[in-house]
Chain A
Amino acid sequence: MYRLKIVDHIILLLGVFVMMAPVVVAFFTSTHDAAEIHRQGLTLTWGNHFAETYSTVLNREGGFTGQVTGTRMLMNSLILGIGFAVGKIILSMLAAYAIVYFRFRLGTLFFWMIFTTLLLPLEVRILPSYEVMHQLHLINTYTGMIVPLLASATGTFYFRQFFKSIPDELLEAARIDGAGPIKFFFDVIVPLSKTMVAAIFIIMFVYGWNQYLWPMLMTNDESFYTLVRGIKQILLVWVGAQIPDYNEAFAIAILAMLPPVIIVVVFQRWFIKGLTESDK
């Protein structure tokens, strides 16, 4: 049994190598000049163009209209990530609270209505969703990018699960202590949900930041592009280019993945707890 331990480590090291190598290589390669990359291929050496490449990506006004900077895209990604996470948390906490703690006539109906949203991911209703947004004049708006994504059950189910695990006696004691539904929500439920909210925030932020399809459909105005969307732009601009700007592509890729990865790594425990405890 002890001999196996070395094999275990080898397998794990291999796994880590496979998972991390592409990212590491992408980073190092991004520090080189495009021509160098074309000549040498992907590399693990440190080029001298780190500052140059990244500042270009962040500050150069590129894209088709020559107006969008990398920084702008970063801001958009941030807005989408935070906006989505905050929106999801508020909507689902309220909805889950209503479903779990109230006895009212349409309760079961609403629960099932929310449940059915799990059955149809966005990808199967992109056309009509786009139509609706068009009619509401929400194309090329932050609202249009964020709000439709909120129409899903995941957040509500997470909180419902969590609320169900809170002991009944707390509510009974609070009722005897004279707390009505709103007071109970703010005085007891919200403080007790802190860790859950943190975990969900992380997951939803990453999800929002990484959105691709929906922002792509919702925005044709480049000033609304997110970093992730910007990736596609780079590829489109390459058509006809002599030497593709590999370094800039990598730079944007690194920028696009950095914040979510950092958050996931730093807040690892909360993030995992949120994922695994709520998906039951």
Chain B
Amino acid sequence: MAAIEINQVSKIYTGDVHAVKSVNIDIKDGEFIVLVGPSGCGKSTLLRMVAGLEEISKGEVKIGNRVVNKVDPAERDIAMVFQNYALYPHMTVYDNLAYGLRNRKTPKAEIDARVAEAARMLQLEAYLERKPRALSGGQRQRVAMGRAIVRKPAAFLFDEPLSNLDAKLRVSMRGEIKRLQRRLGTTSIYVTHDQLEAMTLADRLVVLNGGEIEQIGAPLDVYHTPASTFVASFIGSPAMNLLQGELHGDKLALGPNLIDLGGHAPASGSVTVGIRAEDLRLASPGEHAMTVAVDYVEELGSQRLVHGNLGDQSLTAALSPEAELMSELRLVVGAERLHFFTHDTGKRIGGTALQQAMVAKTEIA
């Protein structure tokens, strides 16, 4: 159990390629941190630097107040769960779990006890004498986790552990990982490119892009107050609609439509407007609304995703399954649900107080 500090950590490859650019993250003891972002954003590199599998070019990493930059991975008191499980193919499940402890000269009785406990927690008791090739993907993943658990390390490091599993298995394993971490209370850093995994598992999310942190925050904060267009479109499915608009006074011009912001305009001139698909609803007759030409519809059962065009920009709305469909729909969105980003940098413009109020409302409700 330990806090992890990542201070100004950078990874620079030959040719002055910066894979990770001066990243700062303070992880509290027992926290479940998820590093999320598209491929190539540096999340795995960052994880591997914490693990000791990659050299830290600049900055320092502290695990429980100890600077570990030059410390061997085996000495950092961490355990890692790999995407491809990395089980020793020629060893039984028992031996796979025991290997790390044996190397540390742990007494046999202790090894037996820890392996039995991990096997019980992960329902692997029946498989202890099997070799990895006789196990299914989900079972192998559990053995990989078991290997981490028996070590009782200060921190767990997960490198996209669920990517190789089928969709259904992923959902159930996600829950197991969450439960396990809650129960053991071990500080965890989890890397994934799947925003849904990130949202459901994290105590706090770190959204990475191009080696830099776009935003750190609790899942709901990030969801409701994305700090940039990147975060806005990355987190949440379907992706947030990002449209070009003009602010004049307290009115927003979106294509041919004019929306009255009722005094909430945070700036003026060209802006990028973010609207979540679920914040759009069908206008009641007579209500001032935007006209959207419908392109195609995706039926999810629980929702109806309508893809259409507002002028020459595309838009997606998540409507109730009973919503009436026509070739043209009239949609409205509450002014307080709009997100504003600068036109050039994509960074968020104000509006935080508003969104926070809304978040508070959601939590109570």
A–B contact (CB under 8 angstroms): yes
Which residue on chain A has the smallest CB distance to residue B75? A178
Contact B84 A176 (CB under 8 A): no
Residues of A within 8 A of B103 (CB): 177-179, 183
Q: How far is the CB of A197 from chain B (nearest CB, A)?
A: 13
Interface string of B64-84 (1 = CB under 8 A from A): 000000001110001110111
Residues of A within 8 A of B86 (CB): 167, 169-170, 172-173
B358 at the interface (CB under 8 A from A): no
Contact B88 A176 (CB under 8 A): no
Which of A54-62, A120-128, A185-193, A211-219 is near enough to bind chain B?
A185-193
Q: How far is the CB of A195 from chain B (nearest CB, A)?
A: 11
B100 at the interface (CB under 8 A from A): yes
From known contacts A170-B86, A187-B99, A192-B89, infer whether A176 and B104 are also in contact, taking CB-CB under 8 Å. Answer: no
Contact A188 B88 (CB under 8 A): yes
Interface string of B179-199 (1 = CB under 8 A from A): 000000000000000000000
A175 at the interface (CB under 8 A from B): yes
Complex alpha-carbon distance, A170 and B104, angstroms: 18
Contact A178 B88 (CB under 8 A): no
B51 at the interface (CB under 8 A from A): yes
Contact B80 A173 (CB under 8 A): yes
B53 at the interface (CB under 8 A from A): yes
Which residue on chain A has the smallest CB distance to residue B51? A176
From known contacts A175-B73, A192-B89, infer whether A169 and B82 are also in contact, taking CB-CB under 8 Å. Answer: yes
Complex alpha-carbon distance, A188 and B103, angstroms: 13
If over half of A's interface residues share one DSSP class (helix, strand or loop), that class is named, otherwise mixed; here it is: helix
B90 at the interface (CB under 8 A from A): yes
Residues of B within 8 A of A175 (CB): 52-53, 72-74
Residues of B within 8 A of A170 (CB): 86, 88
Residues of B within 8 A of A191 (CB): 90
Complex alpha-carbon distance, A169 and B82, angstroms: 7
Contact B100 A176 (CB under 8 A): yes
Residues of B within 8 A of A172 (CB): 51, 53, 73, 80, 82, 86
Which residue on chain B has the smallest CB distance to residue A188? B88
Report which of A178, A188, A192 forms a contact with B100, defined as CB distance below 8 A.
A178
Q: How far is the CB of B137 from chain A (nearest CB, A)?
A: 15
Q: How far is the CB of A110 from chain B (nearest CB, A)?
A: 22
Which residue on chain A has the smallest CB distance to residue B72? A175
Q: How far is the CB of A136 from chain B (nearest CB, A)?
A: 41
Complex alpha-carbon distance, A172 and B99, angstroms: 13
Q: How far is the CB of A103 from chain B (nearest CB, A)?
A: 11
Q: How far is the CB of A2 from chain B (nearest CB, A)?
A: 40
Contact B89 A176 (CB under 8 A): no
Residues of B within 8 A of A187 (CB): 88, 99
Residues of A within 8 A of B80 (CB): 172-173, 176
Residues of A within 8 A of B52 (CB): 175-176
Which residue on chain B has the smallest CB distance to residue A192? B90
Contact B104 A178 (CB under 8 A): yes
Complex alpha-carbon distance, A247 and B147, angstroms: 66
Residues of B within 8 A of A176 (CB): 51-52, 73-74, 78-80, 100
Contact A173 B104 (CB under 8 A): no
Complex alpha-carbon distance, A178 and B83, angstroms: 20
Residues of A within 8 A of B85 (CB): 169
Interface string of B48-62 (1 = CB under 8 A from A): 000111000000000
From known contacts A176-B51, A177-B103, infer whether A167 and B90 are also in contact, taking CB-CB under 8 Å. Answer: no
Residues of B within 8 A of A169 (CB): 82-86
Which residue on chain B has the smallest CB distance to residue A194? B90
- Which residues on B are within 8 Å of A, measured CB to CB? 51-53, 72-74, 78-80, 82-90, 99-100, 103-104, 147
Extra inter-chain contacts (19) besides given A173-B147, A192-B89, CB under 8 Å:
A167-B86, A170-B88, A172-B51, A172-B73, A174-B88, A175-B52, A175-B73, A176-B52, A176-B78, A176-B80, A177-B103, A177-B147, A178-B74, A178-B103, A179-B103, A183-B103, A187-B88, A188-B90, A191-B90
Q: List 20 A-B contacts (CB under 8 A).
A: A169-B83, A169-B85, A170-B86, A170-B88, A172-B51, A172-B53, A173-B80, A173-B82, A173-B88, A173-B147, A175-B52, A176-B74, A176-B100, A177-B99, A177-B103, A178-B100, A178-B104, A179-B99, A183-B103, A187-B88
- Which residues on A are within 8 Å of B, measured CB to CB? 167, 169-170, 172-179, 183, 187-188, 191-192
Q: Enumerate the 7 nearest inter-chain pairs by beta-carbon distance, A residue then B residue, closest first.
A: A177-B100, A169-B86, A178-B103, A178-B74, A173-B86, A191-B90, A169-B82
